[in-house]
């Protein structure tokens, strides 16, 4: 399907989604969010893409489009919410990675928080400047950021609206890695993940997500059931057989 504000490229077992609204530093408008959600729906049926990358070009995304929001009523603001799209990305059954250059602000930074893995280059700047607009992060930031970096750091970023550089983001645990070329490094990581057994990856991702939403006893029970179900897959046989035969496993996703 053709998109206006994003592009989708498939290459060597992975898919790359590029945010493409450079004239507004990739500020996320309604159509862009709808296209992003549509794109993830399209990718759910794509058996060949083992991992997905979201990236921008010079900038990742400078937040939700402020021009769109200027005259919103509370009802319109709620309808504009990114939560459905972001929930779909967060629950996507394959690894989703963010390759970040330049600004990842507001809703743009919150988009990186629904990804499983974040790699940035030295130009990256992260921040939640919403407070300076008379609002606060409304695309999951108040939940996902404290989970990732702790309440103290999250409050610091959300209350101050300040921006941090890649080095500080790494120190906070907000990103996984700083690379000379964020996209090239993210492609390498995505291809590494695409070579892992997809069912075990999907179940591990589900367990990690569930762990925060259900109580500890249920989380361990859920993990135990999901873990045991790996033994119904051929990939489990292949992984363990390959170990005993001292060769590299070839996973098929079954």
Token output for 62:
């400078």
Smallest separation, CB 91 to ligand CAA (Å): 19
Q: What are phi and psi of 139, to 5 degrees?
A: -120, 40
Asked if 197 and 231 touch (Cβ cutoff 8 Å), the reply is no
Instruction: Summarize as ranges the residues that interact with ligand CAA (CB under 6 A).
Output: 24-25, 27, 62-67, 82, 103, 105-107, 110, 129-130, 133, 137-139
Give, as one character, the DSSP assignment of residue 24. Answer: G
Collapse the DSSP code of 222 into the 3-class scheme (helix H, G, I; strand E, B; otherwise coil) and give the result: helix
Which residue among 23, 34, 37, 110 is the active-site one? Answer: 110
- Diameter of the chain measured on Cα atoms: 65
Cβ-based nearer residue to ligand CAA, 35 or 65: 65
Smallest separation, CB 107 to ligand CAA (Å): 3
Asked if 195 and 238 touch (Cβ cutoff 8 Å), the reply is no
For the question of residue 37 being annotated catalytic, the response is no
Cβ-based nearer residue to ligand CAA, 137 or 198: 137
Asked if 214 and 202 touch (Cβ cutoff 8 Å), the reply is no
Which residue among 37, 44, 130, 221 is the active-site one? Answer: 130
For the question of residue 171 being annotated catalytic, the response is no
For residue 53, what are the β-bridge partners? Answer: 16, 97
Smallest separation, CB 208 to ligand CAA (Å): 24
Smallest separation, CB 223 to ligand CAA (Å): 32
In this structure, which long-range contacts are made by residues 43-48, counting pairs with CB atoms below 8 Å and at least 24 apart in sequence?
Answer: 43/8, 43/15, 43/92, 43/94, 44/92, 44/93, 46/10, 46/15, 47/253, 48/10, 48/13
Smallest separation, CB 112 to ligand CAA (Å): 12
Give the residue numbers annotated as catalytic, written as ranges.
Answer: 110, 130
């Amino acid at each position: 399907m053709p998109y206006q504000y994003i592009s989708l490229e498939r290459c060597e077992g992975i898919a790359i989604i590029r945010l493409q609204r450079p004239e507004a530093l990739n500020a996320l408008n309604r159509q862009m969010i709808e296209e992003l959600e549509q794109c993830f729906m399209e990718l759910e049926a794509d058996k060949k893409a083992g991992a997905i990358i979201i990236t921008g070009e010079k900038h990742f995304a400078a937040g939700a489009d402020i021009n769109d929001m200027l005259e919103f009523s509370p009802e319109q603001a709620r309808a504009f919410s990114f939560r459905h799209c972001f929930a779909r990305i967060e629950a996507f059954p394959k690894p989703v990675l963010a390759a970040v250059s330049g600004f990842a602000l507001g809703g743009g930074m919150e988009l990186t928080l629904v990804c499983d893995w974040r790699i940035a280059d030295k130009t990256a700047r992260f921040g939640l400047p919403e407070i300076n607009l008379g609002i606060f992060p409304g695309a999951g930031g108040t939940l996902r950021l404290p989970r990732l970096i702790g309440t103290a750091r999250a409050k610091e970023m959300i209350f101050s609206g300040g921006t941090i550089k890649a080095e500080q983001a790494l120190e906070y645990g907000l990103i996984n890695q700083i690379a000379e070329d964020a996209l090239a490094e993210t492609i390498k990581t995505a291809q590494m993940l695409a070579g892992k057994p997809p069912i075990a990856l999907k179940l591990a991702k589900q367990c990690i997500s569930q762990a925060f939403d259900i109580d500890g006893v249920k989380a361990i029970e859920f993990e135990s059931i999901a873990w045991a179900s790996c033994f119904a897959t051929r990939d489990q046989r292949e992984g363990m057989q390959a170990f005993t035969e001292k060769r590299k496993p070839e996973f098929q996703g079954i």
